[in-house]
Structure 1
Amino acid sequence: MVNRDVSLSVLLSAGRSGLHRIGRTQVSAVEQTSEQFAQRLFEAALGTVDILAIHLGDRLGWYSALAAGPADAAELTTRAGGDRRYAQEWLEQQAATGILTVTPDGRFALPAGPAEVLTDTNSLDYLAPLARMLAGAAVQLPALVRAYREGGGVGWSEYGTDVRESQADMNRPWFEHRLAVDLATVPDVHALLSAPGARVADIGSGGGWSSIALARAYPDLRVDGYDIDPPSIAMATANAADLADRVHFHHADVTTDLPESAYDVVFAFECVHDMPYPVEVLSAARRALRPSGVVIVMDEAVDPDFASPASDVDRLMYGFSLLVCLPDGMAHPGSAGTGTVMRAEQLEEYAHKAGFTTLDILPIENFGFWRFYRLTV
């Protein structure tokens, strides 16, 4: 059963970077006048423009160039490349929307706060990949319309580099700075990872940053990452080049390819909700455990129940679900069709069907968008 004593404090918090739950601030649909809803839609349009413009600046390297100092369009394109006329328009838009400031000599400057959020890949506040994820998903709108109308889905490979890399880049600071620190506060998990000869599996390993963080924190640990996406395996292998003696990535279907009784811990970081066959995956993870081993699932820190209006985090997760996660899962026949908003009771149901007896919510708080679950037999 879900450990309710632990869960309450975790459910009330979603983390840093403006991700704190701030209550259900949205006006309900029945209370909105036409003028209020028109204003809301107008503000959403402004936000959409900002997201897409941030994506341009991120991908062109213009924010990184501005982090080196103020620039006009000519200086910016000299530093980072690009077309001067487009650069002028982008700089003016960024200043008009309040991201950049204008110096007395007419150049454009990137203040320290936005610079950290948009360029510091080591910061827990780094959110440029969020714009990249949404922009990458928007490219697939024709395919999404078709899937919504006819059924089926849009597979992960179809979303391409922007979406693949954005997920890895957004998770990376949290894995590098917080993962091992927070897992060390859970005594049984820390003991398993610290034991001589310990081995772990990281299923749905993506860019590999979770595997890398675990290996660096536990010098004797051997890590096997598994993913069904070949470009992700290539990316992870390159990222972990200095740990190649202890960290290995495998292109595999974990429902059939996980070795039995091989691992002390099986991790699934932000991937179970994407999986078309979560019960089969969790069953394979259970079989892969050594005696006294555990499965740790990190997934979205959504509210325990559906609500209308919902918290800001739930609203964002529904957005990811509509545009990426549900279509990805639905691209496979017979999919469970979970979607991003996988609540604790849904995961508990999957876990019980997979042969686990207990699901606990770990006391790891303020870890970005995410919550940690421990599954035991």
Structure 2
Amino acid sequence: MSTPPTAEEFADRLFRSALGAMEIFSVHLGDRLGWYRALAVHGPATPAELAARAGGHERYAREWLEQQAACGILAVGGDGRFALPPGTAEVLTDESSLAYLAPLARMLTASAAQMPALLEAYRHGGGVGWTAFGADMRESQAEMNRPWYERALPAALAGVGDLDAVLRRPGARIADVGCGGGWSSIALARAYPEATVEGVDVDAPSVELAARNAKEAGLGDEGRLAFRHGDATLLGEGGYDAVFAFECLHDMPRPVETLVAVRRALRTGGTAVVMDEATAEAFTAPAGDVERLLYGFSLLVCLPDGMAHRPSAGTGTVMRPDTLRRYAAEAGFRDVEILPIEDFGFWRFYRLHA
């Protein structure tokens, strides 16, 4: 057990946390206004130049630029122009980079906007559903996960030989349950060109977003990739070689029912894969940074989303391996295997054996 902080030490911690929160909100402003991208593309700018390039009010641009420089996010030259350093630009503007984190600010801002509803849920039960968080939440999650699906997922799956062989079967059918913005489905369709991929999601705007993303990715008209609005029961019985659930099972109010539908959807010899948060095996306190991050997501987003429906398992983001094993067993799977996929963001891959 660590030594409890003094009042001064804890006050300092909260003070620094407040600074971090303010930086997050300032990043959200710069991201949504397009100011970071303008600096990345066109180079250093004065407040007037930035407002002329990207729009916005010059007085607000000056305050934001000075605040960003005061925080060390931007650099300021002797000519009074503010510059976005290359490494920072990658994190804030490069949508293909595994270091891309600008959507995190958007996600946390969307959570903060729902604080009155969250307080109500915490006081009286109930929850705050995914639709209530709006487009900022929906799109930020899709954008933050996109680089991992596009750049890391194909190699990760190829590294598991027997799984890769299933996915490469000529005419293989793959389902992606809880597909969200569709980037996981798009990555699967690209990695396995002889397969057909079907994404399903209970959130209708997410299905529409996925279809738009697929079309922009050049996969909307091939017939190998489709999206449907609904839950896993849409998949029917015995029609799929593989069913995936990427970072969604912990959000579902009835995860066992979903896994039952997944098991029924598999053909003989098919495989089910769940990618979910790489939590610790058991609760410990104090915990490491990843665990703290996951609990934060759970408090603000995932648990309230799951609790917005009745009945609800109330899983939350911190779904530990034993919890998934229990859900899988209740759904009729005989075993759960942790796949040898490492260094894949904050996630862990499980294969469920029917």
Query: What secondary structure sits across from 1:243 in the alignment?
Result: coil
Which residue does 1:335 correspond to in 2?
312
Query: What secondary structure sits across from 1:294 in the alignment?
Result: strand
Task: With the length of structure 1 as denominator, give the TM-score of the two structures.
Answer: 0.92
In the alignment, residue 227 of structure 2 is paired with which amino acid? F
Query: CA offset at residue 373 of structure 1?
Result: 0.3
Q: Distance in 1 between matches of 2:293 and 2:72?
A: 23
Which residue does 1:312 correspond to in 2?
289
Deviation digits for residues 269-305 of structure 1, max 9, x if unmatched?
A: 0000000000000000000000011110000011111
Which residue does 2:174 correspond to in 1?
200
Of 87, 91, 103, 2:77 maps to 103
Query: What secondary structure sits across from 2:170 in the alignment?
Result: coil
In the alignment, residue 243 of structure 1 is paired with which amino acid? L
Which residue does 2:229 correspond to in 1?
251
1:216-235 correspondence to structure 2 within 5 Å: 216-235=190-209
Which residue does 1:157 correspond to in 2?
131
Whether 2:251 is the aligned partner of 1:274: answer yes
Query: What secondary structure sits across from 1:341 in the alignment?
Result: coil
Structure 1 vs Structure 2 CA RMSD: 0.9
Query: What secondary structure sits across from 1:355 in the alignment?
Result: coil
Query: What secondary structure sits across from 1:201 in the alignment?
Result: strand
Of 327, 335, 339, 1:358 maps to 335
Whether 2:130 is the aligned partner of 1:174: answer no
8 Å Cα contact 2:177-2:231 kept in structure 1: no
Which residue does 1:89 correspond to in 2?
63
Which residue does 1:44 correspond to in 2?
17
Query: What secondary structure sits across from 1:250 in the alignment?
Result: strand
Which residue does 1:31 correspond to in 2?
4
Q: Distance in 2 between matches of 1:246 and 1:73?
A: 48
Hey, which bits of structure 1, 4+ residues long, moved more than 6 A?
Answer: none
Query: What secondary structure sits across from 2:103 in the alignment?
Result: helix
Of 238, 248, 254, 2:212 maps to 238
Q: Distance in 2 between matches of 1:329 and 1:31?
A: 33
Deviation digits for residues 197-255 of structure 1, max 9, x if unmatched?
A: 1001000000100110111111111001000111111110011122231000000122x
Q: Distance in 1 between matches of 2:140 and 2:283?
A: 27
Which residue does 1:283 correspond to in 2?
260
Query: CA offset at residue 36 of structure 1?
Result: 0.5
Unpaired segments of 5 or more residues in structure 1? Answer: 1-26
Of 186, 190, 195, 2:164 maps to 190
Query: What secondary structure sits across from 2:270 in the alignment?
Result: strand
Unpaired segments of 5 or more residues in structure 2? Answer: none
Of 99, 115, 119, 1:145 maps to 119
Q: Distance in 2 between matches of 1:337 and 1:81?
A: 43
Of 66, 79, 86, 2:53 maps to 79
> What percentage of residue pairs aligned between the two structures are identical?
64
Q: Distance in 1 between matches of 2:210 and 2:53?
A: 30
In the alignment, residue 228 of structure 2 is paired with which amino acid? H
Q: Distance in 1 between matches of 2:34 and 2:348?
A: 32
Q: Distance in 2 between matches of 1:94 and 1:359?
A: 47
Query: What secondary structure sits across from 2:241 in the alignment?
Result: strand
Q: Distance in 1 between matches of 2:71 and 2:219?
A: 43
Query: CA offset at residue 187 of structure 1?
Result: 1.1
Q: Distance in 1 between matches of 2:342 and 2:193?
A: 25
Q: Distance in 2 between matches of 1:329 and 1:128?
A: 25
